[in-house]
Amino acid sequence: MTDDTAPLPAPETPEPEACPRCGKLPALCICAGIEPIANRIELLILQHPQEQDKGLGTARLTLLHLAKATFRIGLSWASLSKALGHEATPSKWAVLYLGSVEMKSLPQDREIVAVDAKGLPLADQFDPLKGLQGLILLDGTWSQAKTLWWRNAWLLKCRRFVLNPKRPSAYGKLRKEPRRESLSTLESAALVLSRLEKNEGIETAMQASFENLLAAYKAQQPKRDWRRRPRAKGA
Ligand SMILES: [Zn+2]
């Protein structure tokens, strides 16, 4: 996998090779033994090209857990079908809504709430779940996800869900998220798929992996600060 035409300068401290399955360095690789679950609702993860959280990022790990899942890195795709690589109808898919939502307005007994274009809960919460074929997650920081949202107009044709999880993200203080419902990509996929497919096994397996990742991350924290990210120009 080396490119002979463009030799890389020797790094000062050689990096160990990342795991080809999960993309993590050996100290953070917890993917051994993960078997894909036969999910009915397909998953599509769109990742902003600058999302470089090699430590706590969960997109690839999420992919390993699910038989029907697609992972794409980029800024825009002409259509949902193009992003997926097969025919699909946006109105039969849902995307996690990124606009502002008054959390107090959400029904407290529901962890997945279907909202309208203004972010308000729909009166009928059952209809938006009927015939749902897939879920789209935008992976990246808040502003990166916003960019993906506005660059892909076909997302506006999708159903919109907001998560109102009973428990906060297992990230705890490892990541500064502005809102309680800001779950990791893995936790979001686990919550939606396990509830809508009525298969608790999805959430149990994925949550266990996430906790293993967090434990591995914490274990090697003193050696190196993985939270450090390259600063954007002008930031
Ligand atoms: Zn791995």
**Residue 173 has what DSSP assignment?**
G
Structural domains in the chain (count)? 1
The stretch 177-202 carries a mean pLDDT of 86
Contacts of 100 (CB under 8 A, 6+ apart): 119
In a domain, 150, yes or no: yes
Residue 1 in domain: no
Q: 61: CA distance to ligand 1 center in Å?
A: 8
The whole-angstrom separation of Cα 114 and Cα 132 is 12
pLDDT for 13-31, tens place per residue?
777 899 999 999 999 999 9
Q: Is residue 4 part of a domain?
A: no
Q: How far is the CA of 26 from the centre of ligand 1 (A)?
A: 7
Tens-digit pLDDT profile for residues 70-122: 999 999 999 999 999 999 999 999 999 887 777 777 888 889 999 999 889 99
- 131-171: per-residue pLDDT in tens? 999 999 999 888 899 999 999 999 999 999 999 888 878 87
Average pLDDT score over the chain: 87
Q: Three-state secondary structure along 42-75? A: EEEEEECCCCCCCCCCCHHHHHHHECCEEEEECC
AA identity, residue 67 = A
In a domain, 209, yes or no: yes
CA of 9 to the centre of ligand 1 (A): 26
Rg (CA), the chain: 18
**Could you tell me if residue 53 is inside a domain?**
yes
Taking the C-alpha atoms of residue 14 and residue 181, their distance in angstroms, rounded to an integer, is 38
- 3-state SS, residue 162: strand
How many Å lie between the centroid of ligand 1 and the Cα of residue 174? 21
> Could you give the CA distance from residue 110 to residue 192 in angstroms, rounded to a whole number?
11
- Domain of residue 82, residue span: 35-219
Please tell me the distance between residue 187's alpha carbon and the centre of ligand 1 in angstroms. Answer: 18
Number of neighbouring beta carbons within 10 Å of residue 205? 19
Q: 57 C-alpha vs ligand 1 centroid, how far in Å? A: 12
**What's the gap in Å between 232 CA and the centre of ligand 1?**
28
Q: 101 C-alpha to center of ligand 1: Å? A: 36
Ligand 1: distance of its center to the CA of 127 in Å? 39
What's the gap in Å between 53 CA and the centre of ligand 1?
15
Q: What pLDDT does residue 235 have?
A: 38
Confidence bin at 234 (pLDDT 50/70/90) = very low
Position 143 in a domain = yes
For residue 55, being part of any structural domain is answered with yes
pLDDT exceeding 70 applies to what percent of the chain?
A: 86
DSSP 8-state secondary structure symbol assigned to residue 37: B
Q: Identify whether 225 is part of a domain.
A: no
